[in-house]
């Protein structure tokens, strides 16, 4: 007989909670008046179907709700975190306190939102014995309120209360208190309509996981796995700056999907690594060619996937494109090389390569002042509108021109369109005029 494994629990790890019944109208009032904070870190998304919602309302009327809504007291948690010098925890709770919240909801988002929607008549159902919902509002539900917890304990509790339907790896990553989790969650919300074009199960956060995969590639140049993505969240190592720029470009391309069909994960992943590669080489898709770019890329992906010959060698084994792409985050270099070769004939048509030098130097500014004998631009016409009335140029002395708070060197033809940072494309202007002109082409060069 095998020896039993003995597990010890440190009493310091124990947390205190109380359970009580509360009227549904009071629970709803706390949600609507922002006393209960539904933190997306700890909550599954609103994944219930209408059938789920109606079943829950029915169970309330029949007194058959068995699970408690789980809350954490914000004020108590804040003061305990101060006492224990957990600065990150204290900052989190203090921000919620300042917004007027009293509790954080660890479990019960779908239930809370369903009760609110039913009370407001948004579920499209009524009960003959409760026309004004007074009986419903006077029903009671169980609330389990934890007096104080740390963020780490809240993370652990969030996982434990979902043992019936365990959180997947992305749902677990989502409740890590890190800038990576916040950034991915925020980006996912912004790109919600874009990711509708991709075959992803959003109710279980697979759209967030896909963005995490892309961020890891952007950071490391590799595909990674669940363990790698976990570490990126915990260690906060993602290259958020470059990812933020490229994901916007990627979204603009995806948005041009001319069909109602959804793209596969492999397709949009390959598209991202290609756009990322172009950015590294200062190559950018011109704004009028996003759809053309997508169409060509799509056509080429179809042709590659239809090729039945095993043209790609991986660890001594030959594979077709479809087999190569079956594991989305593997064989990236092989895939990227083929994509670059196929798309190369179209690059000059749909993209521009920007000058690596983005800004004019101190010397450039002096040379421009000398070249134009101290005359600088203070006014101009762009897209049929003038910046202001009056002269277009004036003379200033060199020291004044070198004051960067007042005068800058502007790209006359926008740098973003591939125009170079050379003296022939530069002029000294006031900072205000430069901001107004922005990246537009002035009338005086058309």
Residue 136 inside a domain? The answer is: yes
Considering the domain architecture, whether residues 343 and 385 belong to the same structural domain is answered as no
Q: What is the mean pLDDT of the chain?
A: 90
- Residue 313, pLDDT > 90, answer no
Domain end position, chosen among 353, 379, 401: 353
Examine the pLDDT at 36 and tell me if it is beyond 80.
yes
Q: pLDDT band for 9, please (50, 70, 90 cuts).
A: low
For residue 48, name the pLDDT band (cuts at 50, 70, 90): confident
Q: Is residue 85 part of a domain?
A: yes
Asked if the structure places residue 156 within a domain, the reply is: yes
What are the residues whose beta carbons fall under 8 Å from the beta carbon of 326, sequence distance 6 or more? 266
Do 326 and 413 share a domain, yes or no? no
**174 within a domain of the structure (yes/no):** no
**316 with 209, same domain?**
yes
pLDDT band at 176 (very low <50, low <70, confident <90, very high): confident
Is residue 401, in this structure, part of any structural domain at all? Answer: yes
Q: Is the pLDDT of residue 329 over 60?
A: yes
Per the structure, the count of domains in the chain is 3
Tell me, yes or no, whether 340 and 382 share the same domain.
no
Task: Say if residue 208 is in the same domain as residue 77.
Answer: no
Where is the domain boundary, 133, 149, 164? 164
124 and 223 inside one domain: no
* 187-to-178, 194, 240 alpha-carbon distances in Å: 14, 11, 11
Residue 9 in any domain: the answer is no
Question: What's the pLDDT tens digit per position in 372-382?
Answer: 999 999 999 99
Query: In this structure, are 346 and 385 located in the same domain?
Result: no
- Which residue range(s) make up the domain with 303? 187-353
Is 114 or 203 the better-scoring residue by pLDDT? 114
408 and 276, same structural domain? no
pLDDT above 60 for 16: yes
Going by pLDDT thresholds of 50, 70 and 90, the confidence category of residue 167 is confident
Query: Residue 175 falls within a domain, yes or no?
Result: no
Same domain for 129 and 224, yes or no, is no
Give the residue-averaged pLDDT of 398-408: 89
- For residue 1, being part of any structural domain is answered with no
Pair (331, 206) in one structural domain: yes
413 and 312 in a common domain: no
* Whether 333 and 375 share a structural domain: no
**pTM over cut 0.85:** no
**What confidence score (pLDDT) does residue 226 get?**
94
What's the pLDDT tens digit per position in 419-441? 889 999 999 999 999 999 998 99
Task: Indicate the residue among 332, 353, 374 that finishes a domain.
Answer: 353
Confidence class for position 446, pLDDT limits 50, 70, 90: low
């Amino acid at each position: 007989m095998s020896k039993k494994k003995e597990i010890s629990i440190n009493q310091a790890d124990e947390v205190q909670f109380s359970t009580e019944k509360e009227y549904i109208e009071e629970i709803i009032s706390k949600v609507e008046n922002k006393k209960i904070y539904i933190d997306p870190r700890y909550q599954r998304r609103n994944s219930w179907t209408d059938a789920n919602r109606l079943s829950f309302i029915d169970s309330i009327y029949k007194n058959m709700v068995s699970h408690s809504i789980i809350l954490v007291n914000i004020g108590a948690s804040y003061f305990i975190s101060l006492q224990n010098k957990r600065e990150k925890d204290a900052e989190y709770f203090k921000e919620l306190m300042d917004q007027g919240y009293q509790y954080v909801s660890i479990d019960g988002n779908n239930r809370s939102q369903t009760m609110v929607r039913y009370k407001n008549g948004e579920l499209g159902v009524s009960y003959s014995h409760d026309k004004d919902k007074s009986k419903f509002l006077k029903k009671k539900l169980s609330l389990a309120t934890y007096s104080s917890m740390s963020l780490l304990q809240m993370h652990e509790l969030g996982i434990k209360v979902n043992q019936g339907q365990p959180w997947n790896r992305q749902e677990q990553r989502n409740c890590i208190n890190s800038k990576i989790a916040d950034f991915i969650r925020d980006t996912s919300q912004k790109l919600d309509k874009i990711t509708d074009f991709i075959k992803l199960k959003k109710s279980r956060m697979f759209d967030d996981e896909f963005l995490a995969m892309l961020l890891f590639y952007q950071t490391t140049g590799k595909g990674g796995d669940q363990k790698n993505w976990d570490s990126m969240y915990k260690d906060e190592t993602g290259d958020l700056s470059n990812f933020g720029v490229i994901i916007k470009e990627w979204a603009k391309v995806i948005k041009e999907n001319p069909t109602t069909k959804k793209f596969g994960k492999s397709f949009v992943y390959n598209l991202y690594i290609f756009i990322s590669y172009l950015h590294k080489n200062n190559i950018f898709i011109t704004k009028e060619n996003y759809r053309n770019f997508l169409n060509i890329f799509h056509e080429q992906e179809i042709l590659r996937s239809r090729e039945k010959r095993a043209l790609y060698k991986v660890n001594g084994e030959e594979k077709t494109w479809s087999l190569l792409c079956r594991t989305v985050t593997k064989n990236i270099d092989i895939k990227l090389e083929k994509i670059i070769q196929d798309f190369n004939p179209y690059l000059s048509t749909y993209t521009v390569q920007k000058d690596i030098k983005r800004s004019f130097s101190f010397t450039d500014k002096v040379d421009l002042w000398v070249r134009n004998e101290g005359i600088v631009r203070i006014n101009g016409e762009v897209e049929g509108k003038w910046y202001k009335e009056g002269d277009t140029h004036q003379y200033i002395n060199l020291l004044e021109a070198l004051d960067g708070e007042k005068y800058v060197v502007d790209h006359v033809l926008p740098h973003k369109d591939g125009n170079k940072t050379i003296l022939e494309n530069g002029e000294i202007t006031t900072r205000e005029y430069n901001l107004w002109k922005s990246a537009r082409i002035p009338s005086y060069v058309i």
